Amino acid sequence: MIELPEAIEISRQLNETIQGKKVTNVTAAQTPHKFAWYHGDPDQYHNLLTGKTIGSARGVGAMVEIKVEDAVILFSEGVSVRYHGDTEKHPKKHQLLIEFDDYSAISGSIQMYGGLFCFRQGEFDNWYYSVAQEKPSPMSEKFDQVYFDNIVSDPKNSGLSAKALLATEQRIPGLGNGVLQDILLNAGIHPKRKVKTFTEQEKLNIFNSVKSTLAEMTFQGGRDTERDLFGCYGGYKTKLSKNTVGNPCPVCGEIIKKETYLGGSIYFCPGCQKL
């Protein structure tokens, strides 16, 4: 799943590969998928985009946004976005294929669920998209300790777990269950720990870990559990993930464990992250 580091990396790669190209053809919803979401009629994507020039791309929370003159292409977290060079065969199965005047293309495909939205600027009313644009990115200076303390100190959040606080309800857009694992390990906090039990030092540790861990993940091109625009895994070696469960913790040597919690998996070190 795309989260903040991958959204930033894929956007950077898109700016280097397709910016300035003209759209010549758009094919949407070719391969049916029950959990592929579109804006309006996907058959109209061709008319909306064809003949227009690709502008800049950016990460918006866990989404990838591409400006196309007066229109926008938006990929949500569950979409695999791939670039296909002018000599490569375009994939036969996809939920969205956008072809350019130099015979290159990008495609969007879905395994579990995801949104492939094309719309005129200002015509897309989506809560996740709006919140991700309104709230400061944890990579920005506006996301400072005061801002984070306001989230933690909100009385409505006192009974939440660390996972629920950081990775649900879009409190921090782009920070999902994937990047959460290493953030909490680096802070020494168990995913099930209640917010009301945090000490002031632990709150500071979590804030610093959010900033530093996401920065490291982004600097290294995303996590090694996720693929980039070219299908390559990111350079950041996850400490807690499907790749490391059952292995010794890199900090203390305890065996990394996996549990199901709040509708997803959590990974933790019983030595570093006491409950």
Query: Of 75, 105, 134, which residue constitutes the final position of a domain?
Result: 134
Q: Checking DSSP bridges between strand 96-100 and strand 57-60, what pairing results, if any?
A: unpaired
Say if residue 113 is in the same domain as residue 166: no
Say if residue 30 is in the same domain as residue 151: no
Beta carbons within 10 angstroms of residue 223's beta carbon: 24
Handedness of CA 170, 273, 233, 215 (dihedral sign): positive
Say if residue 41 is in the same domain as residue 123: yes
Query: Any idea which residue has 């979409």 for tokens?
Result: 79
Give the chain's domain count: 2
Query: Of 82, 109, 134, which residue constitutes the final position of a domain?
Result: 134
What domain range includes position 220? 145-268
What CATH number is given to the structural domain containing 107? 3.20.190.10
Say if residue 55 is in the same domain as residue 87: yes
CA–CA dist 238, 15 (Å, integer): 26
The answer as to whether 18 is a domain residue is yes
Specify the 3-state DSSP secondary structure of 26. strand
Global confidence as pTM: 0.96
The answer as to whether 223 is a domain residue is yes
The answer as to whether 232 is a domain residue is yes
Handedness of CA 146, 150, 143, 124 (dihedral sign): negative
CA–CA dist 158, 145 (Å, integer): 18
Say if residue 45 is in the same domain as residue 81: yes
The answer as to whether 114 is a domain residue is yes
What CATH number is given to the structural domain containing 209? 1.10.8.50
Say if residue 64 is in the same domain as residue 23: yes
Would you give per-residue pLDDT tens digits along the chain (275 residues)?
A: 999 999 999 999 999 999 999 999 999 999 999 999 999 999 999 999 999 999 999 999 999 999 999 999 999 999 999 999 999 999 999 999 999 999 999 999 999 999 999 999 999 999 999 999 999 999 999 999 999 999 999 999 999 999 999 999 999 999 999 999 999 999 999 999 999 999 999 999 999 999 999 999 999 999 999 999 999 999 999 999 999 999 999 999 999 999 999 999 999 999 999 98
The pLDDT assigned to 83 comes to 98
Instruction: Give residue-wise pLDDT tens across range 131-189.
Output: 999 999 999 999 999 999 999 999 999 999 999 999 999 999 999 999 999 999 999 99
3-state secondary structure 79-126: EEEEEECCCCCCCCCCCEEEEECCCCEEEEEECCCEEEEEEECCCCCC
Say if residue 104 is in the same domain as residue 208: no
Say if residue 67 is in the same domain as residue 112: yes
Say if residue 50 is in the same domain as residue 112: yes
Say if residue 264 is in the same domain as residue 157: yes
Is the CB of residue 118 less than 8 Å from the CB of residue 79? no
The answer as to whether 14 is a domain residue is yes
Say if residue 158 is in the same domain as residue 125: no
Say if residue 11 is in the same domain as residue 130: yes
The answer as to whether 273 is a domain residue is no
Beta carbons within 10 angstroms of residue 57's beta carbon: 26
The answer as to whether 275 is a domain residue is no
CA–CA dist 70, 80 (Å, integer): 24
Q: How far from 77 is each of 51, 131, 173, 229, CA to CA, in Å?
A: 27, 15, 11, 13
Query: Of 110, 134, 158, which residue constitutes the final position of a domain?
Result: 134
The answer as to whether 107 is a domain residue is yes
